Amino acid sequence: MPKATAETTKRSKGRSKSVEQTVRVGLRKALPILVREMSDMLEKRPPRMTNRAKREMQCQIDQYIRKSVPLINELERLEGDPLKTPEAYEKFELLIRTWMDSLKIKGGEKDSLDAYLKEFKKLVRLPADGRRIAHVRRVYEGIQQLIDSLIVDPEKEKAATELIQAFGRHHRRQYMRYHHAFKARQRGNRNVDFRRMTHRNITVLTDEYRDGAAALEKRLQLIVGLHLIAIGSPKPYAEMRKFGLRNLCDNIQSPKNRLLHFLRNSVNPTVRNALAHDGADPVFSKLRINFVGRSETIVWKISQFLKNTMRLIQTVRALTYLESLFTYATLELSIARLRQQVQLSSQPTASVKPARRRQQRTTPTRTSR
């Protein structure tokens, strides 16, 4: 018997070493690819690293793998056994703590999952300058309500995750291009008074509104797709891409779709189509701008154009928190479910004893003398 146990321990050690080597080689190969993808997305050249910095990074990766691979093997061994759920939770909590220590994230003495959720919540929280704007707060709270309606059902949560991942794969670079173009225009127009009706101001506002509406159209396709999942009639990514901006705005304005009313009046499809095809038609004698569409003509003053452009930019800015808020909500719910399973499995099964019948006391009756 001791010989058999020694052989099994030898095999497990060899297997853990092979897994450790495989993970180490895979990370070393994937790291340059990840750096190139991030530099292309951020539109920056990849940073140059010295040989010393590369060696230090490889040492950190090796230390993390050496600590985490045995925990991963233990989790695989404990998978599927409901009686081992408390032990699996301890291993998982230790794995998260190891990852946080490698990234130098302070977790304290409490549970590492709570510390990770706390740090994650700081990232998804609306910043102070956004909380001061009423429309940004409204869109942010509307996203939270939509997410709450999705994570109640595990099937809806799974469908929403797949749809968000599909939109991220196809349109993530488009979001980043709009973000960089907006930052560049903002730096160039820092001290411009847009209340004056000039050719330059009309051109800048036209570019902002057109690009913002194009970026918002993809976000609205995702939002409407998530709403369809929430009401029980999901559609795949290929069908959601066929929705035009006018169809999306009709869905948002519909009285039946109350979960989408936080996006009302965020964009005007007639103005967007006019800017995309013919451009703005300024009338300087009357200080107004005409946006000529196929069926109607929208007339705005320069102040209205500025106000609606700012509202559109604020909407796009607030919708950037959608993916991170959804990830935080699903992670928080998953940890709560895991802790509930741990609590249920750690409770001892109390043996049911038959209830004893109470013996009724018979009080002796006093006999009359």
In the chain (369 residues long), the average pLDDT of successive 10-residue segments reads 50 60 74 74 75 80 78 77 78 81 71 85 90 94 94 92 91 81 77 80 88 91 94 92 92 92 92 86 87 88 91 92 93 88 70 45 42
281 φ/ψ angles, rounded to the nearest 5 degrees: -115, 90
Is residue 16, in this structure, part of any structural domain at all? yes
* Shared domain check, 207 and 136: yes
The pLDDT value given to residue 284: 86
- The answer on 186 and 312 residing in a single domain is yes
Q: Total domain count for the chain?
A: 2
- Residue 364: per-residue pLDDT: 44
Three-state SS string over 160-212 comes to: HHHHHHHHHHHHHHHHHHHHHHHHHHHHHCCCCCCCCCCHHHHHHHHHHHHHH
Asked if residue 342 is part of any domain, the answer here is no
pLDDT at residue number 9 = 52
Q: Are residues 83 and 148 in the same domain?
A: no
Same domain, 43 and 160: no
Same domain assignment for residues 116 and 240: no
Question: Cβ atoms within 10 A of the Cβ of 155, count?
Answer: 10
Residue 106 and residue 179 share a domain: no
pLDDT at 12: 53
Cα 283 to Cα 301: distance, rounded to the nearest angstrom: 10
295 strand-pairing partners? none
364 is a domain residue: no
Tell me, yes or no, whether 66 and 136 share the same domain. no
Indicate whether 367 belongs to any domain: no
With respect to residue 348, please indicate whether it lies within any of the assigned structural domains: no
The reported pLDDT for the residue numbered 354 is: 47
How buried is 166 (Cβ within 10 angstroms: 0-12 exposed, 13-18 middle, 19+ buried)? Answer: middle
Buried b (16+ CB within 10 A) or exposed e, 125-138: ebeeebeebebbbb
Q: Are residues 147 and 102 in the same domain?
A: no
- Chain segment 215-273, per-residue pLDDT in tens: 899 999 999 999 999 999 999 999 999 999 999 999 999 999 999 999 999 999 999 99
- Considering the domain boundaries, does residue 182 fall inside one? yes
Distance CA 251, CA 72 (A): 46
Assess whether 208 and 298 both reside in one domain.
Answer: yes
- Among 212, 220, 229, 241, smallest CA distance to 311 is for 212
Tokens coding 52: 């010393």
Residues 299 and 194 in one domain: yes
- Final residue before a domain boundary, out of 71, 90, 123: 123
- Of 92, 123, 154, which residue is a domain's last? 123
**10 shares a domain with 86:** yes
Q: Domain boundary residue among 97, 123, 149?
A: 123
Q: At 298, is the secondary structure helix, strand, or coil?
A: strand
- What is the C-alpha to C-alpha distance for residues 174 and 183, in angstroms, rounded to an integer? 14
Q: Judge if 87 and 199 occupy the same domain.
A: no
Beta bridge partners of 281: 290
Q: How would you label 208-217 residue by residue, b for 16+ Cβ within 10 Å and e otherwise?
A: bbbbbbebbb
**Domain-embedded: residue 158:** yes
With respect to residue 345, please indicate whether it lies within any of the assigned structural domains: no
Range of the domain at 116: 2-123
